[in-house]
Structure formats: C-alpha cells, structure tokens
Amino acid sequence: MKRLFLLGGLLAVFSLSLAAAQQPAAAAGPKTIDILKLKDNLYVLTSSTPGNAATFSGGNVAVFITDGGVTLVDDKLAGWGQAVLDKVKSVTSKPITRIINTHTHGDHTGNDNFFGTSVEIVAQDNTKANMEKMDAFKGDNAKFLPKKTYKDKLTLGSGKDRIDLYYFGAGHTNGDTFVVFPALRVLHTGDMFAWKDGPYCDLTNGGSCVALPRTLQKVIASIKDVDTIIPGHSPMQTPADLQMFQRFTADLLSHAIDANKAGKSVDDATASFKVDKYPGYKNERVKGAVQAVYDELKK
C-alpha cells in the first residue's frame, strides 16, 4: 500500500514536471497566423481573439490584392511582422505597398516599422496625432508614422481596386477609420465593432462610450452596400450584426446614464444590465464600458 502510494506520488511529480516542460515550448512556439479567404483578392489574417496568449497576434488584418500591390488594413502586434509577411506571401507574389491603420492601438499598428518607409501608411488625422504620442513612433521611429492622412473621407485607387476610408466620429478612440472595399461589398470596422460584448472606449485616446452609439448610427446610415463585415477581434459578421451591436451600445449607454442618475455604483449598474436579449453576447467587458460612461459623465 505504502509502495503504491509512493508510486502514485512519483507519477504525479513526473506528470507535473512534464507539464512544466511543455509550457515554455508552447509559449515560445512558432508564430503562426490563420488566414481566411473572403474573395479571390481579399483575405483576412485572423488569430485575433484577445485572452489566448499563445495565439493572439493582434486585430483582424484585411489583405487586399490590387493590380498595383497589396494593401493591408492594420498590421497586428509588434513581433508578428514576419508571420504577417509569410501569410501574405502564401497567397500572392505581389509586394505590400500600403497599410491603412484603423486606429492607434499597438495590436493594429505594431508592424508599421517592420514593413518600412517604402510602404505608404494611411490613417485618420487624429489617429496620426495619437500615434505620435506612442513610444513606438518616437525619435527615429517617427519616420514610420502615417504619411497620408484625411479628416472625413478618402478614396484610394479606382474601379475594382477602389478603397473608401470614412471617419464618423468618436467611439473606440477619436480617430477610427471604417474601410470599405466597394467592388467586394466588404467593410472593415476596426475596433469600433470588435466583439459581441461591452465596447472598449479608450478615453485617453479621445474615445467615448457616450458618442459611440451615435457614431455607429452614422455608419449604418451611410455605408449600405456591403454584405460582409470584418470586425476588430472576432469572426466575420454581417450588417445585421453591426446593427445589433449599435442597439447594444445604445442600450448600455442609456442604462448606465439612468443608473448614474439614480446614484448606483458601477458594480450595481453592471450587474443589472442584461445581455440575454442579444444572442451570442457576453458580459465580460460590460463593466469597463459602464465605467467609461461614468467617467465621461464626471467631465
């Protein structure tokens, strides 16, 4: 009996050390990104779900193959540049000639420097200003900042290669671009529609959970000719999904305003917000959004 117990103990120690030995190997494993074909000339680099440290590579990247070269929408976290390049090379021999940064965050702009100054980097005016405040773009790295910027709307290319960029107002930050590929009827929303959960409104970069529902309403009213939506950090969506997300953010905003007026705490306001009527929605990020509304109401 004693011997059996000892054997069991040894086995337990052995399997524990096996698990420990396997852990670093998994974490330091090769950086691989999944790729999804949306159209013959449009792919998405996924592996974009935050929280999974082993596979999270940054936001969804659109890979648009035009006659003149490849346009990327966003370029993931720093350190993933080679993995992005390898995946692009697996579907086209054309060079990457342009990167559109939907907004300032490092999981969307992390490889602007990797792709270099020969690539045209495009962003909304406020996003360029936000990027100038990031360590990644200070000093000598300022040469990787966007060279082409715009205020409300910008069209790049023409015909089947046309790309329309729109800015509709504050939400996730104060410089989020919506990218439309009109010939393909596809819209990339960046993190203005990241996931089916509470929105992340980055107040330090001009974001606003108070403005977000209004801004999304403008998007829905203005961009009608699309069938497929590439969100910031989740699987592909439809315009109906975007409309539901807009209703979700509007509902959450009015709930938070009412709770604030009633003197309720952020925790109480969060607990009483029900996500059940929104199929597929989580409440892991609702508290952050409620907190953002409370902070904005204090201003």
Q: Which is nearer to Zn ion, 184 or 207 (CB)?
A: 207
- Contact status: 191 vs Zn ion (CB under 5 A): yes
* DSSP secondary structure letter of residue 146: -
Q: Which is nearer to Zn ion, 104 or 246 (CB)?
A: 104
Q: What is residue 246's three-state secondary structure?
A: helix
Query: Which residue, chain included where needed, has tokens 């003197």?
Result: 263
CB of 189 to Zn ion, least distance (A): 11
* DSSP secondary structure letter of residue 237: B
Residues in contact with Zn ion, shown as a per-residue x/- string from 99 to 138 under the rule CB under 5 A? ------x---------------------------------
Question: In terms of Cα–Cα distance, which of 161, 92, 150, 98 is closest to 126?
Answer: 150
CB of 70 to Zn ion, least distance (A): 23
CB of 60 to Zn ion, least distance (A): 11
CB of 37 to Zn ion, least distance (A): 25
- Contact status: 176 vs Zn ion (CB under 5 A): no
Q: 228: alpha, beta or left, given left = phi > 0 and alpha = psi -120 to 50? A: beta
CB of 178 to Zn ion, least distance (A): 14
Q: Which is nearer to Zn ion, 194 or 259 (CB)?
A: 194
Q: Which is nearer to Zn ion, 157 or 288 (CB)?
A: 288
Residues in contact with Zn ion, shown as a per-residue x/- string from 59 to 98 under the rule CB under 5 A? ----------------------------------------
Distance CA 238, CA 244 (A): 10
- Contact status: 188 vs Zn ion (CB under 5 A): no
Name the helix (H) or strand (E) containing 69.
Answer: strand 69-73
Please tell me the count of residues contacting Zn ion according to CB under 5 A: 2
Contacts 24+ apart (CB under 8 A), 148-152: 148/120, 148/121, 148/122, 148/123, 149/122, 149/123, 149/124, 149/125, 150/122, 150/124, 150/125, 151/124, 151/125
The residues binding Zn ion (CB under 5 A) are 105, 191
